[in-house]
Structure formats: C-alpha cells, structure tokens
Amino acid sequence: MSNPPVTQAVGGDALPENPARRRVLISAGLVAAAGALLPWARMAYAESPAQASPAQLDAFLRLGQRLTGREHLPPDISARLFAALAQGDRTFGANVSRLIQAMDAAGISDMHRFKGSSVDTNPEMKALAVSIVSGWYLGYTGTPVGLAVKDDTQFITYTGALMFEPTRDVTAIPTYARAGTDYWAAAPASIATD
Amino acid sequence: MTTQYDADVVVIGSGALGSNAAYELAKQGRSVILLEAGSRIPRWKILENFRTSSRKANFNDPYPNEPWAHTSYDPEYLENTGSFNFRPGMLKLVGGTTWHWAAACWRYLPNDMKLNTLYGVGRDWPIEYDTLEPYYQQAEEALGVAGNGEEDQSGQGGKAWPPRSQPYPLPPDATTYMNQQLVKRLAPEGYHYIHEPNGRVTRPYDGRPACCGNNNCMPVCPIGAMYSGDMHATHAENAGAKLVTEATAYKLEKGAGNKIVAVHYRKADGTDARLTARYFVVAAHGLETPKLLLISDVANSSDQVGRNLMDHTGIGLLMIGDEPLWPGRGAVQQGGIFNWRDGDFRKQHSAVKHSMSNAVPNRTITERLLKQGVIGPELDERIRHDAARWIDVGTVFEMLPNPSNRVTPSTKKDALGIPMLRVNYDVDDYVKAGKEIAKKDYARFAKIFNAEVIEDESGWQNRDHIMGTVIMGSDPKTSVVNGDCRTHDHENLFLATTGVIPASGVINPTLTGVALSIRIADTINKEI
C-alpha cells in the first residue's frame, strides 16, 4: 500500500497512470463550485483557496493517500478538505509543500515508517499531518463546541469519513442499516478474532 | 344567547404531549386548533441536514434555529445565572423535541409517586399509580412501545413491576450481543440489567417500519421506526384538528369567573391573532409553558410557576473493557442498571440509574486517538480495537424540587418581541450524595470489565428531562396544577407538560407526560 514520493507531482507530471488524477481537473473556480453544491450552505466556498493550483491539489490528494495509507481517495473530497484547512491560513499551501518535502526527505514512503521519524518528532509538521488525517477520518475540520449553535467546524464528508472503515464489517454508519430487525442478537462473525 | 368560540379547545404546542391531547380530542369530534411556534420540516430534510452537519454530536444542529423559534442551544435564547449550564436540547418545530430522544418509555413506580410519605423527602404526587395506569397503557399504544413485561423494572430482581393491566403493545427487540455479555458479567455481581421499554416499533405499526438498527435515534431516526410527536400532529390533523405553524402564543387572556377566554399568538411575519375557546391546553414544554404563564400573569397565585425546576442531572463513565462487546449494533440504547431505583436509601440520597450506550462510538474514539497524535496503521487498528470494547455509561440522579431552581422570562426578547428564557439551576446535596454511590459503582464496573478508565469525572451533565416547573399538587397554595393537570386558578386551563411532575424518580418522563395528556383530553371530553 505504499505510495511513491510525490515531490515530482508538484510539477504536475507524476503518475500519469493514476485514474484518480485525470479527475483532478480542478481550477479554483471548480473548488468554489463544489462548495456551492453542498446542501449545507455553511461551506465557506467564497473563501476557498484561489491560490490552489491543480498541481497543488494533486499533490495534496496524494499526500492524503500517503498519510492515511489509502491507495485511492476521492479528489473532490480532497479539494474540499484543502479549501477548509486553507481557509484563513495563507501559509497552508506552502506548509503542505514543506510537509511533503519533509516526508520525502525522511523516506516515509508509507506510514509504517512514520513513527519516530523526523516528521513525527517535529511538532509543527506532526500537527499539520494530524490535521489532514483528522479531516479524512472524522469528515470535518475545526473544533466542535458542545451545546452551542456556532463553532469553527466545516463539513467535509460523512460516508467517506475513514473512521468508519475499520469497523465496516460489524457496525453501520449511523442512519444506514446493515441488516434486518434483531440482527444484533447474534455475535459478530469476527468475534473470535476481535 | 350562546357564546361563539373559535374552537372547543386550543392546544399550544405540537410536541408529543400536545399532539396526543389534540388527537384524542379531535377523535371525539371536538374542534381543535393546534398552535406550533416552529415550522413543519419533513424527515428527509432533517436527515440530510444531519448527514451534512459538521457537528454530529450536537443533536440540535440538524434542526431550524430561527430568530422567532430558537433552539435551546442558542445562548441568547436561554441564559443561565446558576452554577450549572442548564441547557436541555429543546426544539421548536412540529413534533417538538421527540424528534431527538432515544424513546425510552418507562412508567413511574407506585413508590415514586409517594416519595414524601415513604421516605420523608421531596413531594408526593396528588394521584396514585392506579389512577394513571390505564392512561399509561393508552400512551404506550399511541407511541408503539416495545417492552418486556416480565421484568422487575424497580431493579430489585423481584416479580414483574410496576403492575400492568395489559401486555406491552409490542414485543421487545432482541437483546444485543453486547447486552448478553454485559448481563453475564454484571449479574453475578448483583447488578440487575433491565431491558428498556421504548418507542421503537419491532414490527410494522401505525404506518411505521420496524427498527432495523440504523443507530441514529438521536438526533433523527432516518426511517420513522422511532416515535416522534409529528406522528400525532398528523393524526390530529387527519381527525379534523387545525394545525397553525409559525404561531407563537404570547398571552393567555383572563375573563369573567377567572376563566381563560383567549390566546394571543404572533406569526413569524409579525402579525397577531386572537383565538377564543372553551378550554386551553398549554403544551409548550417545561420551560416555555411556565414562561407563557408568567408573561400572561396567570395561574400563579401559588408563586410556584417556573420554580422547582428538575432535570435528571447526570454524570458519565467512559472505559475500554477487556472483551469485544461491539456497541453500535441495534438502537442507541437498550437498557440499564436499576439497583438504586427504589429503596429506603432514598431517605439519604437520590435514586440512581446507569445505562450503557449502544451508539456507534467511532467518532468519539477517533477524536480521542487523533488528539493523542495516533496516525498511521496504528490508527485503524486502535479504532477497531477500542470500538469493539468501548463502554459508555450514562448515569442519572433523582432530583428534589427546590423553589430556587427556576425559569423566568428573560429581559432579552426574540425577533417577535417576546421575552426569552432565564434559568437558575444548582445541584443539591441529595444529588451529590447519590453521586458518591454512583462513583462506587463506577469503580466496581471498571473492575468487573478489567477496564482502562478513560473518564470517570465528567462533571454534571444535562439530561434534558424538564420537570417541576408547573408543579402538581393537591394544595393550591403550594402547587400550580391539581392531579388532573388543571390549573388551580383557572378551571378551563390545563397544562400538558412534564413540568407538572412533582417527584422525578430516575426515568425519562415523556411517556408519563403523554399519559397525563391523554388523561387531560379525557377530562375535557367529559366536561364539554
């Protein structure tokens, strides 16, 4: 599940065989449009990162794949995550490039090599990596505030949130069903090895 | 000369309680107008709002928060002056707050209703369990309650209790694998794990599909298997009631003989209207109902309106046990431990209920792991490991009525110019003594499950069970309504709210509120 280093991707010519990449024809305008199409109008698409080039978004997608250990991730969700994290942070794009370079330099071609690496022990780089992983896993950015009507969170994805993948064979993504009434009485099929 | 009225009965509030009263009255041929401050929102929109919400732990978030119909999480709408941030998750829309509840449908015990006589604390109900029993049955049929009638719900491991005249309308849902395992380990330690009767139908019932474990009772059941008050708002309309939405009652008008002659309401566009009726039922929930009485200057000769506010203020325990239990399969909750539900100890400390959450825990677990900086392959492994073993205990305490715990109209006004809410709420020593007992249980639970304790000092938590604010009693000098939920001061004004409950016990009060509301309809029907 390892991904190659992606420094070249910033140049825009890496991995031509990657079918996901062909869908990354995202201009700044399209990022805004993706935001506008969300049914939840809170997405601050007007503030989406006009500075994000297709190459940057491509690199960010592959960084997300590397950080989460997924071979494929949806480019549209990646672009939405980039927009949310970059909102109000003009240095975000440059910081992402620095993280990619640092991971390449540390030889972190996959996340088995992350723990204890120079990126892991660099608080700034680690925090950025966690914030990107957090968006992919939780499906939102920001910090929720309980018992309130406002906070700085932004919606990224629900069914695409990676936190559900490790338990997909046992529990449902809430609101969806996995079997009929009373299925829950039987032990999960995996119980002996859990 | 005959007086003309706009309706036989005006019901203010279209939640589970108001809508059931309206339906029972309309079914008997009474002309009924049902006023609702909020809008009517179809289930699919609420569901999509939830799925695209960035704040899925916030149960009010998928619902409208309008300048003329706020949710309770708006700090402007509900301000606090006490030591505790009293902030129940209340909604304003057709169907009310039963859009997001877990549909627990317990009955009170006969002893719960004689708290002062038996234990010398708090207040008694002015009516006995036997008086309420037939209405409990009717309420259970209205809500489609699935339950196990064979258990001792007082938690003492005795005979089936409280007494029932008829079986539950629906059989209980199958016991989850998690609860089977919990019982195996808790029972030898003397803990009685009791199935929770609930308003999630186990087979098709009243146009609703059987629950198939979508695990989202809060904040919205995606398929309508779980009961919500909008179902009876619709039933009331089909029986001939007229539902007026975006209409906030702001004044009850007194007339001759101290009767209520009219209600004044304001539409979202600012226009006013006045409705006359023979009877008025205020069913605007436990905070708005007393506020309406106070700003109308009615029903308050006792000075008890808005006082004696009680929640089942609680605490929580989070831990990771030693075996895969797999919470998240089925509905979000299925039962609890009731050993401290009733007994002589209530002379010294509050009753206590523990319940184990069955909600899919992935979000809470993942948030925690990410805060610890766990990423990489370990993250997926830990999510699965912890999700299988997650034990989330919610505990509630019995509150006693205290006049200084109260809701009053705020000096702040909403977009319609109507005062909003101010609450003063503190937790008393009776509850604090109960907490000590609960903490001892927590230590035992951790030992029984060889658990890693994640959190056992949560601080006081809201439980959203609003009681006491228009307290029921036999003495007009110390209570607002009598045992029929009729205000002592105005013979044609009834209050359909859990705010009438004078002794809180530890059980979710909605079923009792619906039973009392059906009984109100019965009383009015006989008199008209």
A–B interface: beta-carbon pairs under 8 A: 171
How does residue B323 score in pLDDT terms, banded at 50, 70 and 90? Answer: very high
pLDDT for the residue B190: 97
Helix orientation angle between B16-27 and B129-143, rounded to the nearest 10 degrees: 90
DSSP letter for each residue of B16-47: HHHHHHHHHHHHTT--EEEE-SSB---HHHHH
pLDDT (tens digit per residue) in B371-398: 999 999 999 999 999 999 999 999 999 9
CA of A19 vs chain B CAs: smallest distance (Å): 24
Are B186 and B5 within 8 A, CB to CB? no
Question: Hey, are the CB atoms on B214 and A180 less than 8 Å from each other?
Answer: no
CB atoms within 10 A of CB B4: 6
Q: Which residue in this structure is represented by tokens 């401290």?
A: B340
Question: Is A173 part of the contact surface with chain B (CB cutoff 8 Å)?
Answer: yes
Question: Hey, are the CB atoms on B378 and A142 less than 8 Å from each other?
Answer: no
pLDDT for the residue A40: 39
Are A139 and A155 within 8 A, CB to CB? yes
In angstroms, the CA B68 to CA B37 distance is 8
How does residue B3 score in pLDDT terms, banded at 50, 70 and 90? Answer: confident
Q: Strands, DSSP E only, in chain A?
A: 140-141, 154-155
List phi, psi (to 5°) of B389.
-115, 5
Q: Which residue in chain B has the smallest CA separation from A41?
A: B52
How does residue A51 score in pLDDT terms, banded at 50, 70 and 90? Answer: low
Residue A116 region by backbone torsions, left for phi larger than 0, else alpha for psi between -120 and 50, else beta: left
Question: Is A136 part of the contact surface with chain B (CB cutoff 8 Å)?
Answer: no
Question: Is B67 part of the contact surface with chain A (CB cutoff 8 Å)?
Answer: no
Instruction: Specify the CATH architecture of the domain B7-527.
Output: 3-Layer(bba) Sandwich (3.50)
Question: Hey, are the CB atoms on B55 and A130 less than 8 Å from each other?
Answer: no
DSSP letter for each residue of B338-353: -TTSSSGGGGTS--EE
Question: Hey, are the CB atoms on A185 and B176 less than 8 Å from each other?
Answer: yes
Any catalytic annotation for residue B312?
Answer: no
Question: Is A168 part of the contact surface with chain B (CB cutoff 8 Å)?
Answer: no
Question: Is B60 part of the contact surface with chain A (CB cutoff 8 Å)?
Answer: yes
3-class SS of residue B82: coil
Are B162 and B110 within 8 A, CB to CB? yes
Question: Hey, are the CB atoms on B375 and A165 less than 8 Å from each other?
Answer: no
Question: Which residues of B are less than 8 Å from A154 in CB distance?
Answer: 54
How does residue A37 score in pLDDT terms, banded at 50, 70 and 90? Answer: very low
Inform me whether the pLDDT recorded for A63 exceeds 50.
yes
Are A75 and A83 within 8 A, CB to CB? no
Question: Which residues of B are less than 8 Å from A36 in CB distance?
Answer: none
Instruction: List all residues of chain A from 95 to 114 with a beta carbon under 8 Å from chain B.
Output: 111-112, 114
Question: Is B100 part of the contact surface with chain A (CB cutoff 8 Å)?
Answer: no
Question: Hey, are the CB atoms on A170 and B212 less than 8 Å from each other?
Answer: no
| Of B393, B390, B406, the residue nearest B451 (C-alpha) | B390
Q: Which of B195, B465, B488, B490 is catalytic?
A: B465
pLDDT (tens digit per residue) in A156-189: 999 999 999 999 999 999 999 999 999 999 999 9
Question: Hey, are the CB atoms on B73 and A148 less than 8 Å from each other?
Answer: yes
How does residue B1 score in pLDDT terms, banded at 50, 70 and 90? Answer: low
| Of B256, B226, B246, B248, the residue nearest B105 (C-alpha) | B226
Inform me whether the pLDDT recorded for B343 exceeds 50.
yes
Higher pLDDT, A43 or B130: B130
**Average pLDDT of the residues in B53-60:** 97
In angstroms, the CA A65 to CA A110 distance is 9
Instruction: List all residues of chain B from 139 to 178 with a beta carbon under 8 Å from chain A.
Output: 173-177
Average pLDDT, chain B: 98
Inform me whether the pLDDT recorded for B257 exceeds 90.
yes
Hey, of B181, B362, B390, B458, which one would you mutate to test binding to chain A, going by the most A CBs within 10 A of its CB?
B362
| Of B241, B237, B292, B286, the residue nearest B263 (C-alpha) | B292
**Average pLDDT of the residues in B407-424:** 98
Higher pLDDT, A7 or A86: A86
How does residue A3 score in pLDDT terms, banded at 50, 70 and 90? Answer: very low
Q: Strands, DSSP E only, in B185-307?
A: 193-195, 242-244, 247-254, 260-267, 272-282
3-class SS of residue B237: helix
Inform me whether the pLDDT recorded for B147 exceeds 90.
yes
Are B439 and B453 within 8 A, CB to CB? no
**Average pLDDT of the residues in B218-228:** 98
In angstroms, the CA B24 to CA B11 distance is 12
Q: What is the CA radius of gyration of chain B?
A: 22
**Average pLDDT of the residues in B198-206:** 98
Inform me whether the pLDDT recorded for B203 exceeds 50.
yes
Inform me whether the pLDDT recorded for A12 exceeds 70.
no
**Average pLDDT of the residues in B120-141:** 98
In angstroms, the CA B369 to CA B375 distance is 8
Question: Is A125 part of the contact surface with chain B (CB cutoff 8 Å)?
Answer: no
Is the peptide bond preceding residue B110 cis, with omega within 30 degrees of 0? no
pLDDT (tens digit per residue) in B171-184: 999 999 999 999 99
H or E stretch covering B60: none
Inform me whether the pLDDT recorded for A20 exceeds 60.
no
Q: State how beta strands A140-141 and A154-155 pair.
A: antiparallel
Question: Hey, are the CB atoms on B370 and A137 less than 8 Å from each other?
Answer: yes
pLDDT for the residue B2: 76
Instruction: List all residues of chain B from 255 to 274 with a beta carbon under 8 Å from chain A.
Output: none
pLDDT (tens digit per residue) in A88-110: 899 999 999 999 999 999 999 99
Question: Hey, are the CB atoms on B375 and A180 less than 8 Å from each other?
Answer: no
Hey, of B329, B356, B381, which one would you mutate to test binding to chain A, going by the most A CBs within 10 A of its CB?
B329
pLDDT for the residue B521: 98
Inform me whether the pLDDT recorded for B235 exceeds 60.
yes
Are A155 and B51 within 8 A, CB to CB? no
pLDDT for the residue A24: 37
CA of B266 vs chain A CAs: smallest distance (Å): 24
Are A141 and A153 within 8 A, CB to CB? yes
Question: Is B179 part of the contact surface with chain A (CB cutoff 8 Å)?
Answer: no
| Of B392, B400, B396, B341, the residue nearest B363 (C-alpha) | B392
Inform me whether the pLDDT recorded for A27 exceeds 90.
no
Question: Is A22 part of the contact surface with chain B (CB cutoff 8 Å)?
Answer: no
3-class SS of residue A136: helix
**Average pLDDT of the residues in B42-62:** 98
Cβ-nearest to B363 among A138, A178, A187: A138
Q: Which residue in chain A has the smallest CA separation from B327?
A: A171
pLDDT for the residue A35: 43
Percent residues over pLDDT 90 in chain B: 99
In angstroms, the CA A125 to CA A99 distance is 6
pLDDT (tens digit per residue) in B263-318: 999 999 999 999 999 999 999 999 999 999 999 999 999 999 999 999 999 999 99
| Of B265, B334, B330, B261, the residue nearest B298 (C-alpha) | B261
Question: Is A143 part of the contact surface with chain B (CB cutoff 8 Å)?
Answer: no
With a cut of 0.90, is the ipTM above it? yes
pLDDT (tens digit per residue) in B471-526: 999 999 999 999 999 999 999 999 999 999 999 999 999 999 999 999 999 999 99
Query: What does the block give as tokens for B208?
Result: 């609703």
pLDDT for the residue A42: 42
Question: Which residues of B are less than 8 Å from A64 in CB distance?
Answer: none
Are A155 and A87 within 8 A, CB to CB? no
Domain boundaries, chain A: 6-37, 52-155
| Of B103, B43, B87, B93, the residue nearest B68 (C-alpha) | B93
